[in-house]
Amino acid sequence: MIVKSKAPFRLGLAGGGTDVSPYSDKYGGAVFNATVNLYAYATIIPKNDGKITLNAKNNKIETLKAEEQLEITGHLDLQKGIYNRIVKDYTKKPLSFELITEMDVPSGSGLGTSSTLVVSILGAFLTWLDIPLTTHEIARLAYQIEREDLQMAGGKQDQYAASFGGINLIEFQGQNVTVNPVNIPQNRIKSLEKSILLYYTKTSRKSAKIIEIQADNVIRKLEKPIQAMHFLKKQAYQLEAALKGGDLHEIGAILDKGWEHKKQMAIGISNPTIDEIYSTALMAGAYGGKISGAGGGGFMLFYVDENHRDSVIKALAKFDGNFRDFHFEKNGLTTWIENA
């Protein structure tokens, strides 16, 4: 038996950062995001040799003795943290297996890579062990493993986006998370796909530092960052209304205003290279755009109309990045079993 899973990455379109504690605890947060056909994959091959092999498909391979708890060492900690929680909460005994993981995009690229990978791995374990959890429970457990067990800084939106899939307005109030699917006609979804350019800057970043600064700004009650987060939260609802109402021409302006406010949340969200890429895209005809994720690098997205799509692509050719084709993905975490 071989167990496989995949979970989709997400584009953060509006409200990003308001899902991060303590802002979401004190004020309530809201994000608008959409999953795309780029995935994190996990494969579990059960063994009976008393060993665990973790293979991250990027030359990171580690073989360990199957024990009830694996030491968190800074190497493949996501995989180890998931295993530790599965044994602690469910099996109560060691497991022997090979876990193979890979992703369609680089780690730290702003599409929720680490959280999506956690959801994918978790889904494979749950299917292998026949543990029945709801989609909400999977997302919540993924959050607990990453944020509480492993103490990795970040928000809540990525785990829920990867688990549920689709286009969603997700609301956060303390420990409560509400996922509101946004139903949009297929022809409008196709138009939106054609209007968004997804650009990889070929830089990665560790989002934890930016998120820690952002959280500290809330703790210190700094007015400018908090007001920026209030603005971004409102934009999540504005973007939902624009898409539901078919007012696609408003999206560029919403993204542009949001990007200006997002940069006020914390130092490091933008830098001179990102600013130059952004201004170049606007001069070539883009209506707006933003960094997807915490900031500092990774993927950017731009809203364009059909007449300016090629000119924006041509203008950004002078930079080192590249464009990635994508389609929106309506399905979230998917798991299946193959015979060996």
Cα torsion through 265, 281, 113, 186, rounded to 10: 110
- List, for residues 178-192, the tens digit of each pLDDT value: 999 999 999 999 999
Query: Based on the domain organization, do 167 and 267 belong to the same domain?
Result: no
Report the distance separating Cα 228 and Cα 232, nearest Å.
6
Residue 45: what pLDDT?
97
Segment 231-252 mean pLDDT: 93
- Amino acid of residue 189: I
Whole domain around residue 109: which residue ranges? 2-183+329-338
Segment 249-278 mean pLDDT: 90
Q: What is the CATH number of the domain that holds 56?
A: 3.30.230.10
Residue 270: what pLDDT?
85
- List, for residues 11-42, the tens digit of each pLDDT value: 999 999 999 999 999 999 999 999 999 999 99
Quick check: 92 pLDDT over 70? yes
Segment 88-102 mean pLDDT: 97
Residues 6+ positions from 246 with CB-CB distance below 8 Å: 188
Residues 6+ positions from 137 with CB-CB distance below 8 Å: none
- List, for residues 172-222, the tens digit of each pLDDT value: 998 899 999 999 999 999 999 999 999 999 876 666 778 888 888 899 988
Q: Annotated catalytic residue: which of 19, 89, 130, 158? A: 158
Query: Based on the domain organization, do 208 and 158 belong to the same domain?
Result: no
Residue 339: what pLDDT?
83
Query: Based on the domain organization, do 170 and 257 belong to the same domain?
Result: no
Quick check: 337 pLDDT over 80? yes
- Do the Cβ atoms of 117 and 101 come closer than 8 Å? yes
Q: Cα–Cα distances in Å, from 119 out to 4, 39, 136, 237?
A: 12, 11, 11, 26
Model confidence band, residue 254 (pLDDT cutoffs 50, 70, 90): very high
Residue 38: what pLDDT?
98
Tokens of 53: 């092999």
Query: Based on the domain organization, do 156 and 194 belong to the same domain?
Result: no
Residue 276: what pLDDT?
95
Residues 6+ positions from 191 with CB-CB distance below 8 Å: 248
Query: Based on the domain organization, do 29 and 154 belong to the same domain?
Result: yes
Query: Based on the domain organization, do 31 and 126 belong to the same domain?
Result: yes
Query: Based on the domain organization, do 195 and 177 belong to the same domain?
Result: no
Query: Based on the domain organization, do 170 and 304 belong to the same domain?
Result: no
Quick check: 268 pLDDT over 90? no
Query: Based on the domain organization, do 225 and 161 belong to the same domain?
Result: no
How high does pLDDT run on average in the chain? 93
- List, for residues 59-70, the tens digit of each pLDDT value: 689 999 999 999
CA neighbor of 14 nearest in space, from 242, 221, 206, 328? 242
Strands (E), 50-206: 51-55, 61-65, 97-103, 167-173, 176-181, 196-200
- As for how many domains the chain has, the answer is 2
Query: Based on the domain organization, do 34 and 171 belong to the same domain?
Result: yes
Please provide the DSSP assignment of 199-234 as one string.
Answer: EE-S----HHHHHHHHHHHHHTT-HHHHHHHHHHHH
Query: Based on the domain organization, do 202 and 115 belong to the same domain?
Result: no
| Pairing label, strands 167-173, 176-181 | antiparallel
Residue 205: what pLDDT?
62
Segment 162-172 mean pLDDT: 97
Query: Based on the domain organization, do 137 and 40 belong to the same domain?
Result: yes
Active site residue 320: no
Q: What is the CATH number of the domain that holds 282?
A: 3.30.70.890
Quick check: 154 pLDDT over 90? no
Residue 36: what pLDDT?
98
